[in-house]
């Protein structure tokens, strides 16, 4: 990576940087969620209103839920044109840009808009301790004194709603509700966002959930529960890994759980680990495997055979439970 002087910028400075450009490339992180896509599309629409051309890129397929929202279908996975600025949206680590990490780090003018607080990798870094990156985009619109239309409002609500677990996670605060109220006033389709992200499931997903729950394992006097999804589970049901993101909730929701884990075999013998805690730092456990996240919600990647990976995780949790 080039050695550039990295700066922290405020939301209004980020807004000024964005408006001084003619063409902006926005990057959603790999395995995109509602916040990265909501913030990218929201920002793209806002920039278009002030005559700045913006295009969104992502090094992953956009999953079925996100594709229910029309503007998300225009996200590209190849970059060829010239841009004045590259923006990493909702992305705390450069590697989460996937194949775009290389062209991003070679570019001189880069801006991060994020709420994770990882290492700074852009020239300009607007990183806030907010519940969602969409809140930063909402404030960019405010700094530019732009009225948010109903389409942008729906996308900004998408990120706010999904990253707060429909206003239930402990990152939900006064600003989340205040922003939601304003987005509601601007015409956000809150019913559609809730239905798509929190209710709709396919028949194959229900079958996967049944299969995964039927083999839940418990450890340490029922203080830890673990679920696993193998690649053949997904292949047999014709599903991809994006459908597994909510499964860990079943493990942590059990009343005696202090730790809930769901491991998903992304590639043969490569497991994506999702951990959740109640009064227990799962971040510390994930750090041991080179991962990270928040105190009560964290993740990591572990290579190995299924039973070996499970044993490693169970042992690591055992040191601090
Ligand atoms: P999830 O379990 O929903 O995938 O992730 C929970 C939290 O942990 C998210 O904030 C996510 O950014 C973080 N996280 C998940 N996997 C990793 C990882 O491999 N490395 C790091 N640093 N953070 C992760
Ligand atoms: Mn986010």
Residue 293 CB less than 6 A away from ligand 1: yes
- Helices 150-163, 133-143: axis angle to 10 degrees equals 150
Q: Decide if pLDDT at 306 tops 70.
A: yes
Residue 140 CB less than 6 A away from ligand 1: no
Residue 116: per-residue pLDDT: 83
Question: Is the four-CA dihedral 282, 284, 290, 294 of positive or negative sign?
Answer: positive
Spatial CB neighbours of 317, under 8 Å, sequence gap ≥ 6: 219, 220, 224, 259, 261, 285
- Ligand closest to 160 (CA) is 2
Token pair for residue 160? 């706010």
Q: What mean pLDDT is predicted for residues 215-243?
A: 96
Q: Decide if pLDDT at 248 tops 70.
A: yes
Residue 2: per-residue pLDDT: 59
Residue 252 CB less than 6 A away from ligand 1: no
Residue 98 CB less than 6 A away from ligand 1: no
Residue 296 CB less than 6 A away from ligand 1: no
- Residue 293: which pLDDT band, with cuts at 50, 70 and 90? confident
Nearest CA to ligand 1 atom 11: 293
Q: Phi first, then psi: give them for residue 254, nearest 5 degrees.
A: -65, 135
Strand partners, 76: 57
- Ligand closest to 164 (CA) is 2
Cα–Cα distance, 55 to 303 (Å, whole number) = 35
Q: What mean pLDDT is predicted for residues 189-201?
A: 97
Residue 66 CB less than 6 A away from ligand 1: no
Question: Is the four-CA dihedral 14, 1, 40, 53 of positive or negative sign?
Answer: positive
Ion ligand 2, residue ranges at CB < 5 A: 35, 90, 133, 163
Ligand 2 midpoint to CA 273 (Å): 18
Residue 274 CB less than 6 A away from ligand 1: yes
Residue 1: per-residue pLDDT: 55
């Amino acid at each position: 990576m080039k050695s550039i002087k990295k700066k922290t910028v405020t939301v209004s400075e980020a807004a000024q940087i964005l408006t001084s450009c003619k063409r902006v490339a926005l990057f959603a992180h790999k395995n995109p969620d509602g916040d990265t896509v909501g913030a990218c599309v929201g920002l793209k629409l806002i920039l278009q209103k002030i005559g700045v051309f913006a295009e969104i890129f992502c090094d992953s397929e956009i999953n079925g839920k996100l594709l229910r929202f029309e503007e998300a279908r225009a996200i590209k996975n190849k970059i060829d044109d010239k841009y004045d600025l590259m923006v990493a949206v909702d992305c705390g680590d450069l590697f989460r840009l996937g194949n775009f990490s290389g062209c991003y780090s070679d570019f001189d003018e880069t801006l991060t808009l994020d709420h994770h607080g990882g290492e700074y990798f852009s020239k300009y870094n607007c990183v806030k301790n907010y519940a969602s990156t969409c809140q930063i985009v909402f404030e960019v619109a405010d700094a530019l004194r732009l009225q948010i239309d109903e389409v942008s409002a729906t996308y900004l609500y998408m990120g706010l709603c999904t990253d707060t677990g429909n206003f239930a996670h402990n990152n939900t605060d006064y600003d989340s509700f205040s922003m939601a109220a304003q987005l509601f006033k601007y015409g956000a389709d809150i019913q559609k966002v809730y239905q798509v992200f929190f209710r709709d499931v396919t028949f194959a997903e229900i079958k996967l959930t049944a299969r995964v729950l039927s083999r839940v394992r418990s450890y340490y006097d029922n203080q830890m529960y673990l679920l696993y999804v193998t690649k053949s589970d997904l292949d047999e049901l014709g599903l991809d890994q994006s459908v597994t993101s909510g499964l860990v909730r079943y493990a942590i929701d059990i009343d005696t759980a202090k730790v809930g884990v769901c491991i998903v075999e992304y590639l043969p013998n490569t497991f994506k680990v999702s951990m959740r805690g109640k009064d227990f730092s799962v971040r510390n456990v994930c750090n041991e495997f080179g991962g990270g996240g928040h105190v009560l919600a964290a993740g990591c990647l572990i290579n190995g055979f299924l039973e070996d990976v499970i044993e490693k995780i169970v042992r690591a949790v055992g040191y601090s439970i």
